[in-house]
Structure 1
Amino acid sequence: MAAPVLRRTVCPLDCWDACRIVATVSGDRVLRLDGDPTDPVARGKLCSRTYRYPERATSSERILHPMRRTTEGWKQASWDEAFEEIGGRLLDLRGRGRTASVLHVQSAGSMGILKELSHRFWNLYGGVTVAEGDFCLGAGKAALTRQLGDYRAHDWDDLVHARLVLLWGRDPFGSGPHRLRSLKAAKDAGARIVSINPLLLTRSSLLDETVRLRPGGDGWLALGMARVLLDRDLFAAGFLRHTDGFEAFSSAVRSVAWEDIAHGSGVGAGEIERLATAYAAADPAAIVLGTGPIRYRGGVEAASWITALPALTGYYGRSGGGLTYTVRHQRDTAVPRWVGAPGSGRRTVSAGVWATQIATLDPPIELLWVNGANPVAMLPDGDRIVRAMAGIACKVVVDFHWTDTARHADWVLPHPSFLEEEGLVTSWGHHGLAYQRAVVPVRGEARTDLEIFQGMAERLGFGPEMAGTPEEWSRRLAGERLIDAEWETLHRETGPPVSEGSAPLPSTPGAAVPSTPGTAVPATPETAGPAIERGRSGSDAPEGPPLRRVRSRVHESVPFVGGTFATPDARYRFPADLPDPSDLPCTSAEFPHLLLTPKSREHHLSQILDARQPMFLRGSMGTAVAAGLGRKESMVEIESAHGHLQAWLREDPELPENVVTLPPGGTVQRRSAVNLLIGPDTASDGITPAYFDCPVRVRVSSGAPAPLPGSHNGTASPAGGTSPNGDAS
């Protein structure tokens, strides 16, 4: 085995953090990953999901060559064959004036900025049908854009100036765990940390209090807090000159009876009054908004009402105040999304429900291209998506594992793991930029999205328009977020490309380290914990100049300073419509439990290493009794109006009697995907699925879960039909 060396890169996967990584490499194999101790985000630690990533990247079930579905099953093909056949179909559609018959589906499989070049490719081609919108964060983005003009975030370190932090539907213990450091700093500086959530996140001493509200009752709780601020004259009257619609808002709030507020929120009037009073007295208080409140039919409205609280108290534009949700990571980026003349073939469908919408399109969809996404598993009712795909003549999926979506494609094009790719990486959780380097060579014949689009562009006649290296395109797309000197610093100090190698690993842990960026740092074996518990000790930290995470110049540390918002008139807009009681999720005698799907702390969505690992449904003892079970773990059937699956039931005494939880994940192919239970409803943005509006019943299962073999035409994947749901490229 070659002597281990250390190489630096950054994690581009769909997460708040975008951590810098130190990879221990031997030859062409990554032995382990650790957080970069010089990174202000990672600080030497990663999440458990990233620690496990090398197993995924070296799995024998990776897709290493272009694969084509034939009447005899999957067959390996060459890239020339793939470009010839797929390119021929694209040329034919363009020749018939039907570029809109191509449907492009892309999500956030990677936060690499080069993924935006797909828009350039398809617009150069002539304009296609695009699955538009963010089905994960979209309802919150829609609300913040409507009320504030844009969604912007405070710097992480700004929390230290808050006297109270409301974690509203946000679980930093399981999603974006590096945020815990900022919360601890705020607490050490005297802030109280309060979780607002239907679920008890943890018994950690970090949380001073948990306000347990009704699932979907977030807008009602915000309305109740606004009522207290108004009735007790705790609002900042001077800040109202920066707002619009206050009088109508105030009248609407006071028109709602407290009984209705308590029913809608699930929180008593006394507790609401105490919370609102503490929020006003903190001066300032920060709201850190998560995705929990937006995953209901009333998600847009709930987020809109939450935005009203910093407007009433005047906390917008203040250090330690405001509301932080997500970062518009492509803000002011020079992304060449449009290159064609107006009137091109571009049209849009909803990213959340495109499988339903395409049935009535004219011209119909004849070719589907999916990259950076696994919609069959990620969206509700995967069976409906499979049926929609079956009606499309040619389906192309770019990925590096046999995902549920790849299994139903006609062409599967292999993409590298993120350890084999390079380019500038952004984050939707903070304002930093980092440069991702390949730490090992590409396996097999895998090609990046950029390389695939460049190869296809050559065959379609616009190759020069897509030409350029990852470095060149990264700098171009960064636009004004970086000045040239910052780009050079960022690029230079990330470390050498994999082809340049790096210094040998010292044989003694803690030995002296060369000071050149990109050279080796000593590694000692440590045990990975369930969250971010493993990391290099201080003695293992690299010496020499730190690796840089350059801050974007177009993102403010504190947004909306001076009460200047991003709306056309620069004013905050109070929400005009009251929460709708009919949007509250309801159970029934037939389906007496509400299913919530909080993120797992062990795997990323459907990206799990063993598709056979058991799924655990958590419920109260009352749930177990209702299902005819005792205290012992038991196999149960979970049924909704839309589907069913099997899981092991574990008792969780902290859950309300009518709530059960199951982390998102599983595969449609094995009938273990949680989203098989969830219906097609969306929030009012028409994009974000109402993932948490899912009443279910739980009953004793007749047997252990059994996978369904093969794919939709009875042919298995080359890996034997057992590969886990994978990363989207």
Structure 2
Amino acid sequence: MTRKRSRTLMHWGVYDVETEDGRLAGVTPWAEDKDPSPIGRSLVEADHPLRVTQPMVRKGWLEEGPASRERRGGEPFVPVDWDEALDLVAGELERVRGEHGNQAIFAGSYGWASAGRFHHAQSQVHRFMNAIGGYTASVNTYSHAATEVIVPHVFGFPYEQVKRASTSLPVVAEHTELFIAFGGLALKNAQIQSGGQGRHVVREWLNAARGNGCRFVSISPIADDTDPALEAEWWAPRPNSDTALMLALSHTLIAEGLHDPGFLKRCTAGYEQYRAYLMGESDGQAKDADWAAAICSLNADDIRALAREMAAKRTMVNLSWSMQRAEYGEQTIWAGIALAAVLGQIGLPGGGVTLGYSSAGGVGNGVRRVKLPALPRLANPVDSFIPVARITDMLEKPGEQFDYDGQRRTYPDIRLVYWAGGNPFHHHQDLNRLVAAWKRPETVVVNDPFWSGAARHADIVFPATTPLERNDFGGSSEDSFLIAMKQAIPPMAQARNDYDIFAGLAERLGVGDSFTEGRTADEWLRHLYDGWRRKFNEMPDFDTFWEQGHIEFMDDTPGQSYKVFLDAFRTDPDANALPTPTGRIEISSQRIAGFGYEDCPPHPSWHAPREWLGSQLAEIYPLHLMSNQPATRLHSQYDHGSVSLESKVAGREAVTLHPEDAAARGIGEGDVVRIYNDRGACLAGARLSDRVRRGVVVLPTGAQFDPEEPGRPGALEKHGNPNVLTRDAGTSSLAQGPSAHSCLVEVERYDGTPPPVTALQPPPIARR
């Protein structure tokens, strides 16, 4: 018996992995992490029956080619050998490029993939596609697309730069007296960081703030969005009404002379136009507390009292990523920034605004930021792209124009989709519409270790390795570690690294040397590390790093971990002008005014969503669906793992209802329920809790897509995937981000024997 220990990094933390005779035997959180994520326990499920064991081709495609695409998603797969599969895909790529051009290939390939720096699936697929002449790409993220687009107009900097400059949580712990958490502070989200994190510190610093007397107010329809240890006051406005509340708080500050005219004059642009809107001078409606109370279903006196407290204390306004994933999501972020500007505490220790504390583990964690080594992606010669959440529109409407951030662009005619490292049948909205649109491309190719929704809706599937089956190194620019990720087990069955898959395709297409540069995967690791190390005198050589297992980037600049967002700008806004057209925080934007978008005016404004509890549609679908992030997995990754399975109810994703809403529908704890609207229906297991606002139901994302009739749009989804219900429409013409949180549904008890969940079993496998 041979036992071995190795270390790996996942997006939710660092773990020591124990193997016995080449098989996984156990997983232990890294000793450096005092608040590890429980998701790590699921890593031992790497050899789950859901693994793709060898290259697979959909039966109809193998026999008829693209003519069979209407049956995509509903047919068995046929095992083939590697050479045949690579030849088929190389032939299709060559055909599509020759007949339609490289812009007819969509390889945006969005998803979290693995935390490794080299074996990062999107980096691999994008490098390969650029080597063969380019592809249609996607821009922005499902996590915070509206924020990514509005922030450069307001602050001038890209959102990633603003995020990394966030006031450090140690500063919050020391100085903040009042913490307003719009969208809550869910620690389940802080357990995750793209690229991984060595230490989870958000809980520690928030608890330190509470211990120092900071008062927390959580504004969310879900009480559990904030750690009970913070003893937060819970406000539960109607979902999607946060912008109205922010406007009313700003109105009260101005009306009662509690704002900061000096800061607004020195550091902002467009305030007077915004003030006229708030006071009702431009449209006849003052955005006061009484106005907002009716929209938000809150008490007007409470709104006024909170505004006064904000002015009397050092106040941090935090804006969760969740709020902007709604119709007009740009307005929520802009209104929150404007509220902090009116308050006048931006640039002060512990005051101002932050976009995403606890939305991910790295925001404000106060560590030294280091740019880490990564695989060069090469240049993309194709300028075609779509906003990330407009996949279905692109497939449905080739040749049609769309608006995006002041541009007028055209949807390409996509003939081939290549996806690696992600799962659109988890993260996209209105999946029944996607199922239909997904049949339009002639060929779909997917690299995946598991039979995800994406793999089941492919024509050709390449089995990919997991991080435990290859050497890599990993880390995040939001963290302070580089981790040596040593292979723990052999590749499962016939799985290959994405790099080797693309190297095989590149060789067949005559660009092998351009893609590989003559290096193996392990040679690339050393090459990338050595090139990166030359920039840092204190870094060890590769062999030393590989032996010791990690590097920690210690602060070498006094005050590096003690950041205050925009402190230098506040001190001297002329010497430290922002890269906006005015050099100031733009409360109103003449650039956005020039776009002429009716759904995104030139300053923060209230617009009632089409779907929310204040709309007429609520008479038919009276419950607002919140499809938040899961606590037991990362999106759909390891939905088959033990941690996720333990959270299921009746074998399905759990939906949480208020007890009074459940009683009105005859629903009891543990019942299987049907959740539905005009877009689709799914089954879930009922949980009852008074820590959810009445009129709201909560169904986390990430249950693997499991339609009762695979491949048929509109089929009942059996597993609890909320994206058969969510609305697929852009936040506005500005960002075109996802608006999943603007969604109304109805829920009923499911009578009879529910159909079995099959998403955690392989699809049918046929033989030639």
Q: Secondary structure at the match of 2:340?
A: helix
Q: Could you say which residue in structure 1 is the equivalent of 2:50?
A: 61
Deviates more, 1:466-475 or 1:206-215: 466-475
Counterpart secondary structure, 2:332: helix
Counterpart of 2:495 in 1: which secondary structure? coil
CA deviation map 1:415-467 (0-9, x unaligned):
21222344453448656654544333332332333332233222222222322
Q: For residues 717 and 281 of structure 1, do their structure 2 counterparts lie closer, same or farther at Cα, with a shift above 3 Å needed?
A: farther
SS of residue paired to 1:391: coil
1:172 aligned residue (165, 170, 186): 186
Partner residue of 1:417? 466
CA RMSD of aligned residues (A): 3.5
1:8-27 to structure 2, matched below 5 A, reads 8-11=7-10, 13=11, 18-27=12-21
The Cα offsets for residues 618-669 of structure 1, whole Å up to 9 and x where unpaired, read as 222332232134x554332211121112223332223333111222232332
1:179-238, Cα deviation, whole Å (9 max, x unpaired)? 212211222233223322121116723233222222111111211221222223333334
Aligned to 1:82: 85
Aligned to 2:726: 678
Letter in 1 for 2:628: P
Any idea what SS the aligned residue of 1:228 has? helix
8 Å contact kept, 1:396–1:412: yes
Which amino acid in structure 2 is aligned with residue 206 of structure 1?
L
Aligned equivalent of 1:510: none
Residues 364/292 of structure 1: CA separation in 2 closer, same or farther (3 Å cut): closer
**Distance in 2 between residues matched to 1:717 and 1:49, nearest whole Å:** 29
Structure 2 counterpart of 1:716, one-letter code:
P
Confirm or deny: 8 A CA contact 2:670 2:686 kept in the other structure.
yes
What's the counterpart of residue 91 of structure 1? 94
Q: After alignment, is 230-239 or 406-415 more displaced?
A: 230-239
Moved more, 180-189 or 682-691: 682-691
Report SS of the residue matched to 1:442. Answer: coil
Residue 403 of structure 1 deviates from its aligned partner by 0.8
Alignment of 1:632-651 (within 5 A): 632-651=669-688
Cα distance in 2 for residues equivalent to 1:406 and 1:645: 21
Partner of 1:323: 354
Partner of 1:280: 311
For the Cα contact (< 8 Å) 1:434–1:550, is it kept in 2? no
Aligned twin of 1:615: 653
**What residue number does 1:589 align with?**
619
* Sequence identity percentage: 24
Contact persistence 2:130–2:377 (CA under 8 A) = yes
Question: Which residue identity does 2:730 align to in structure 1?
Answer: T
Give me the whole-angstrom Cα distance separating, in 2, the residues matched to 1:373 and 1:242.
41
Specify the alignment match of 1:252 in structure 2: 277
Check if 1:655 corresponds to 2:692: yes
Structure 1 match to 2:323: 293
Change (3 A) 1:419 1:433: same
Query: Structure 1 residue 186 and structure 2 residue 209: aligned?
Result: yes
Q: 1:358 to 1:10 in 2, by over 3 A?
A: same
Residue of structure 1 equivalent to 2:126: 119
Distance 1:403 1:487, change over 3 A: farther
| CA distance in structure 2 between the partners assigned to 1:619 and 1:693 by the alignment | 17
CA distance in 2, matches of 1:449, 1:648: 37
Aligned 8 A contact 2:526 2:542 in 1: no
Q: Is the 8 A contact 1:67 1:413 kept in 2?
A: yes
**CA gap 1:718/1:48 in 2 versus in 1, 3 angstroms:** farther
State how far apart, in whole Å, the 2-side matches of 1:471 and 1:299 are. Answer: 43
State how far apart, in whole Å, the 1-side matches of 2:657 and 2:651 are: 19
Matched, 1:573 2:577: no
* 1:658 alignment partner AA: G
> Which position in structure 2 is the counterpart of 1:271?
302
CA, structure 1 residues 10+453, in 2 after alignment: closer, same or farther (shift >3 Å)? same
Aligned pairs, how many? Answer: 654
Counterpart code for 1:140: T
Residue 47 of structure 1 pairs with residue 95 of structure 2: no
- Aligned pairs for 1:307-386 within 5 A: 307-321=337-351, 322-325=353-356, 336=376, 339=379, 344-361=381-398, 364-386=413-435
Gap change, CA 1:111 and 1:569, over 3 Å in 2: farther
Change (3 A) 1:571 1:62: same
* 3-state DSSP of counterpart to 2:223: coil
1:139 aligns with 2:184: no
Are residues 552 and 251 of structure 1, via their aligned partners in 2, closer, same or farther at CA, if it must alter by over 3 Å? farther
CA distance in 1, matches of 2:373, 2:184: 28
Give the TM-score, by structure 1 length: 0.81
Would you say the 8 A contact 1:68–1:411 is kept in 2?
yes
SS of the aligned residue for 1:96 comes to: helix
Q: 1:235 to 1:480 in 2, by over 3 A?
A: farther
Instruction: Mark the CA change 1:203 to 1:187 in structure 2 (over 3 Å): closer, same or farther.
Output: closer
Alignment gaps of 5+ in structure 2: 64-75, 192-199, 281-285, 364-368, 400-411, 570-575, 589-602, 708-716
Give the whole-Å Cα distance in 2 for the aligned partners of 1:431 and 1:244.
Answer: 36
Contact 1:8 1:494 in 2 (8 A): no
2: CA distance, partners of 1:625 / 1:717: 40
Whether 2:734 is the aligned partner of 1:704: answer no
Distance 1:335 1:109, change over 3 A: closer
Tell me the CA shift for residue 483 of structure 1: 5.8
String of CA shifts for 1:667-697, please: whole Å, max 9, x gaps: 3324122111112223114543221222111
AA in 2 matched with 1:244: A
- Residue 486 of structure 1 deviates from its aligned partner by 6.4
SS state at 1:183 partner: helix
Q: Is the 8 A contact 2:426 2:636 kept in 1?
A: yes
**Distance of aligned partners of 1:28 and 1:561 in 2 relative to their CA distance in 1, 3 Å threshold:** farther
1:2 aligns with 2:42: no
CA contact (8 A) 1:319 1:558 kept: yes
* Equivalent-residue separation in structure 2 for 1:242 and 1:422 (angstroms): 49
Cα contact 1:200–1:210 (8 A) shared by 2: yes
Partner SS state of residue 696, structure 1: strand
Corresponding position: 1:204 with 2:235: no
Letter in 2 for 1:668: F
Q: Which residue of structure 2 lines up, in the alignment, with residue 103 of structure 1?
A: 106
Offset at residue 704 of structure 1 (A)? 3.4
User: Letter of the aligned partner of 2:139 in structure 1?
Assistant: E
Match of 1:396 in 2: 445
**Conserved 8 A contact 1:219-1:265:** no
TM-score, with structure 2 as normaliser: 0.77
User: Please, which of 637, 656, 664 is the counterpart of residue 701 of structure 2?
Assistant: 664
Q: Is the 8 A contact 1:229 1:276 kept in 2?
A: yes
8 Å Cα contact 1:298/1:583 also seen in 2: no
Amino acid at match of 2:95: D
Conserved in 1, the CA contact under 8 Å of 2:395 and 2:441?
no
Q: Secondary structure at the match of 1:277?
A: helix
- What is the correspondence of 1:501-516 to structure 2 with a 5 Å cutoff? none
The corresponding residue for 2:566 is: 560
The whole-number CA distance in structure 2 between the counterparts of 1:429 and 1:158 is 17
- Answer yes or no: is the 8 Å Cα contact 2:186–2:227 preserved in 1: no
